[in-house]
Structures are given as structure tokens and as C-alpha cells.
Structure 1
Amino acid sequence: MQEKEFFLGSVQRGWRSPWVAGQISIWGVVLVCSFITALMMKFTSLGSSQLPAISYAINALALLLGGFISGRKAGQRGWYYGGLQGLIYAVILVLISFLAYDSPMMINPLVFVICAFFASALGGIFGVNTKK
């Protein structure tokens, strides 16, 4: 019962919620870095063969930062808040990939979800430990 109240209390805080702040930071980093990558591909000699590695790096950076911000805002249970940010993000991407584009991901979706959980949970652990 107390866990349910804790969860609902953190969601009701709106923009200050670790859930909202984590997702906004994840999607913001992905958007900005993808735009920069597109500009680099247009105006430099960056080839499309390097795009998968760049996209994995962008996702890893976004998940670490999103977990960090979520854990820092929560102040406790950083792995929990960060890990769930990664799960939410990965499930949304898998659903978009499957439903909108009808194309399989380059890696197994289950592996992607697990890696997203751990990357974001690691960020959450670091985020909680920076909170004073």
C-alpha cells in the first residue's frame, strides 16, 4: 500500500516528478543529438555506414543522462527510477519500430530492453549519489 502511495505521490508532482523529468531528458537528448548527426551527415563526409554505431551511442548517452536526472530528482532508489526510465523508453521504441515502420530492429528487442534498463539504472545510481 505504501509503495502505491509513493508512486502516485511522485507522479502527481508534475514537471518536478522524476518520471517526467527522466523521459523529457531522454527524448530531448535523442532529438538534439539526432539533429546534430543529421547536420553532420549533410555537411561533412560522415557516411551512413557509421550511423548504427552513432545511434547506439546516442541512445546510451540519453539513457544514462535520463537515469541520472531521474535518480537525482527522486533522491532514493536510483536504480529503480533510472531502470524504469530505460524500460519505458525501450518499449516505446520497440512499439514504434514494430507498429509504425513494420521493420525489425537490428538487434533483438529483448536485448535492447535489457540493455536500456541497465544503462538507465546505472545513470540512476550515479544520480542518487550526487544528491545532497
Structure 2
Amino acid sequence: MNPIPRVSGFRITSPLLSGIVWSIIWLGAGTLLLSLMLYSSSLSESNVLPWVYGTHGAASLAGGFTSARRSGKRGWYIGAMTGLLYVILVVIIGFLSQDIDWSSRIPLLALVTLLAGAFGGMLGVNTGSSSSAGGKR
């Protein structure tokens, strides 16, 4: 009896692109959670800025983790580059969709995402399957 052949799945081979995709997924989840918090609590839109930075930081951390895990080397560098690409995409999308102006919030957002991405990269590179510290996997 022949087994049913596997359907070939779609796999992103680029670590950087994979990290950006996971960053966008986490950004969507964080935005949904933040929207629910605004709707169901007494949190006002004027006090939401720290939560927005936290959402972007968490998304960048997840993207840096994923990209460094896939890369298997230079974790902080790959994570920081993922954070940099992430913030460039967010600023371009924000400029094109809402015509945002340059302000002090953009460099602060870049700093948050770069640091979070680099930290996620440092964590992710140590959990990858190419690491020889854990023996055979």
C-alpha cells in the first residue's frame, strides 16, 4: 500500500523575510489585543502610546527571534536588521496610509524595534537546530 504523498508546503527560506512575516503576524495580534483593551477598559486613546511601543517591540522581538533561529548565526545582527527593516516598513506604510509627519516618535520607535529585534535575535540564535551546544537533535 502506497502512503498518501505529502502536499508540499510553502516555506520561506530567507531568515530575514521569515522574521518580517512573523513580525507582521505578531503586530496584527498585538493590534487586535490593544483594540480590545481600548474597547473594554477605561484606557483612552491619549494614553495608548506606551502600549503601541510595546506592541511594536514585541513584534520586533518575535521577528528577530525567528530570523536568528532560522539563520543560526550572528543573532543580534540578524535580529537588529529584522527590526530595522520592520520599522522602515511601518514608517512607509504609516506615511502612505495616514500621511504621518516626521517627529521624535519615529527615532524612538526605531530604537525600540532595533533593541527588541537584537534581543530577540540573541535569544533565537541559541534555540536554533544548527546549534551544536545541545548535542544531536
TM-score band, normalised by the shorter chain?
Answer: 0.7 to 0.9
Residue 41 of structure 1 corresponds to 38
Partner residue, 1:112: 109
Tell whether 2:39 aligns with 1:58: no
For residues 3-41 of structure 1, the C-alpha deviation after alignment (integer angstroms, 9 at most, x for no partner) is: xxxxxxxxxx95143122201111111101111211222
Deviations 1:92-114 (A, max 9, x none): 12222333322225534334324
Q: 1:105 and 1:114 mapped to 2: Cα distance? A: 15
Q: Give 2:20's aligned residue.
A: 23
In the other structure, the counterpart of 1:94 is 91
Assess if the C-alpha contact under 8 Å between 2:53 and 2:109 holds in 1: no
Larger Rg: 2
Q: Give the unaligned 5+ runs of structure 1.
A: 1-12
Residues of 1 paired with 2:51 and 2:103: CA distance?
14
Q: 1:105 to 1:71 in 2, by over 3 A?
A: same
Q: 1:19 to 1:50 in 2, by over 3 A?
A: same
In structure 2, the gaps of 5 or more residues are 1-9, 132-137
On the 8 A contact 2:53/2:112 being kept in 1, the answer is no
Residue 81 (structure 1) aligns with:
78
Once residues 18 and 80 of structure 1 are traced to their aligned partners in structure 2, the CA distance between those partners, rounded to angstroms, is 12
Change (3 A) 1:91 1:69: same
Structure 1 residues 32, 108: CA separation in 2 closer, same or farther (over 3 Å shift)? Answer: closer
* Identity across matched positions, percent: 32
Change (3 A) 1:100 1:30: same
Q: CA 1:43–1:108 in 2, change beyond 3 Å: closer, same or farther? A: closer
Aligned length: 120
8 Å contact 1:68–1:126 — kept in the other structure?
yes
